[in-house]
Every structure is written in C-alpha cells, then in structure tokens.
Amino acid sequence: MNREIYRQRAVRALQSVALVGALVFLAARAVSVLFGPVAGWTAALLSVAVVGIQVRNGGGFVPAGARLLAAYEASQLTGALRELADRAGLERVPRLYYLDRPEALAFTTGFGGNASILVSRGLLLSLPFREILAVLGHEIAHIRNHDLALFAVVSAVRQLTRTVAAVLTTIVLFTFPLLLLGVVAVPPNTFLYIAVIPLVSLLAQLAFLRTREFQADIGAVELTGDPEALARALEHLDATGPGWGRSDRIAEMFRTHPSTQERIARLRSFAPKQAKIRWISA
C-alpha cells in the first residue's frame, strides 16, 4: 500500500475517534447540568447504543422517481459495481438506482446489507466511465466504513446537547423576572451550555463529516488504484454544479464537505507513488 495512503487513513481514523469522543463528552456534560453526571453519561451512551441498534441493516430513503437499474440495462456499470463491492469485502452488492435528473448526483442511502447507491442521468452523461468508477468507489468506501450509521449516531448525540440548550433557555426565559429581582440565580455555566457548547458540538459534528469524506476518498483510491480519476471527477462536478469550491478557514468550519481543491490536492499526493491502476473489468 502507498505509504501516504496508509498515513492519511490512520490520521483520519484517529480524527474520527477523537471527534466522536468529544461529541459524547459534550452531550454527557450537557445532560449532567440538569440531571447529574451519572444521568449525563447514561443518556449519552444509551443514545449511541439505541441509534446503533436502529440503523443496523436499516433501509434507507430512496427519492421519488428513482428506479432500480437491472443488470441488462447497464451491464458495464452494474458489473463494475459488483467488482468494487467484491474488492471492498462487502457481503452484498449495493442496489443501484437511477435518478432521471440533469444534476450530476451520486449518493448512498441505507445501512449495512441494505445500502443502495443512487446515480443521476446528469452524472452518467457528464463523466467518462473511468471517473464514474472512481465516484462509485467513493460511495462503496462509505458503505464499507459504515459512515451513514456513524452519521446517524453522531447526529443523535449532538441532539442531546441541543435539547439541553433548549431546556435551559426555556428555564431562563420563564424565570427571567425573578433573575432580575435576584430572587433566584442560575449557575454561571448555564449560559455556556446554552450558547457555546451547542456551537462547539456543531463544529465537531461538521468536522467529523468532513473527515469521513476524506476517508471515503482514500477508500476509493484503495479500491480503484486511480486517484487521478477521482480528482478529475471532482473537478468536473465542481465546474458543472454548486460543488464545494474554495473556502476560507472560517467558512470551512461550517461545511459538511471539505473544499474540492483540498480533496483534489490530497488525491494527487497519492499519484506519484501509486502502483498500476487496478482497472475494473467490464
């Protein structure tokens, strides 16, 4: 394996663990403000467990108008998807849906064995086959990495922090006259958990999403051996759609995807030492 790919994958894995840990910690601390530390950690860990059980092999949402592609309709595409799934070690080949829309779209829905990949007419018409393979590799990597399940868990944990902030805000508003009169007092850290902690939690969640996008890019390179194909696909998609373009550091913190330029630069850093492309048989 390319040494840089191995290093980047390890870095992203460590970042993911650290960010999930931070989100669980913030949620536990937030709940503990209302109910104490034991209840706080219990609520945070239970939310992880419950959502984890719910999403295990759960079905995903398929947009209206999407239809399942049969092998005879797109034998080259479905054959390539089958080979990518085999390379990724998936137990089942994801279902492939076609969405008759002009935008260039590709995304994954569902969890585990019930995951599906959707591709649009715009994507299939705007990219050469080599780049479509790289995009499919990215989506397969998301499935192999259980990213959609992780996204659901992270979202549920962050919701705890938001709920506590909403409850504390309601308490402060209803007791505001008494606060002004000095009849009651709130702990000094109350306003920290109303404003600052939810913001920090949001930033951690968004950073986690960006980290998993980088990890899926790395997974696509591992599956196809063709980092340049995904880099070119990103360039084409960025030029024809809204894309993720360039951004400054502040804007980057509030986005779910890294900037296209950063993703392309990281992909091309793999190319000089990359072994022969692992072509997909058609």
pLDDT in tens, 96-113: 999 999 999 999 998 878
- Kindly report each contact of residues 12-17 with a partner whose C-beta sits within 8 Å and lies 24 or more positions away, as own/partner: 12/211, 12/212, 12/214, 12/215, 12/218, 13/215, 15/207, 15/211, 16/150, 16/208, 16/211, 16/212, 16/215
User: How far apart are alpha carbons 281 and 14 in whole angstroms?
Assistant: 34
**Mean pLDDT value of segment 241-251:** 60
pLDDT grade, residue 247 (50/70/90)? low
pLDDT at residue 171 in the model: 84
pLDDT grade, residue 276 (50/70/90)? very low
User: How far apart are alpha carbons 138 and 160 in whole angstroms?
Assistant: 31
Q: Is the pLDDT of residue 173 over 80?
A: yes
Q: Decide: 44 and 72 in contact? Cβ < 8 Å.
A: no
User: What are 180's strand-pairing partners?
Assistant: none
Domains of the chain by range and CATH?
Answer: 3-58+146-273 (no CATH), 67-144 (3.30.2010.10)
Lowest-confidence pick of 8-22, 182-196, 237-251? 237-251
What is the residue-averaged pLDDT of the chain?
86
User: How far apart are alpha carbons 105 and 232 in whole angstroms?
Assistant: 15
- pLDDT tens digit sequence for 197-229: 999 999 999 999 999 999 999 999 999 999 999
First to last CA, the chain: 25
Return the percentage of the chain with pLDDT > 90, whole number. 59
DSSP letter for each residue of 171-207 = HHHHTHHHHHHTSS---TTHHIIIIIHHHHHHHHHHH
Q: Is the pLDDT of residue 1 over 60?
A: no
User: How far apart are alpha carbons 176 and 247 in whole angstroms?
Assistant: 41
Angle at 209 between CA 206 and CA 213, to 5 degrees: 140
**Mean pLDDT value of segment 122-135:** 95
pLDDT at residue 131 in the model: 96
User: How far apart are alpha carbons 43 and 176 in whole angstroms?
Assistant: 28
pLDDT at residue 252 in the model: 76
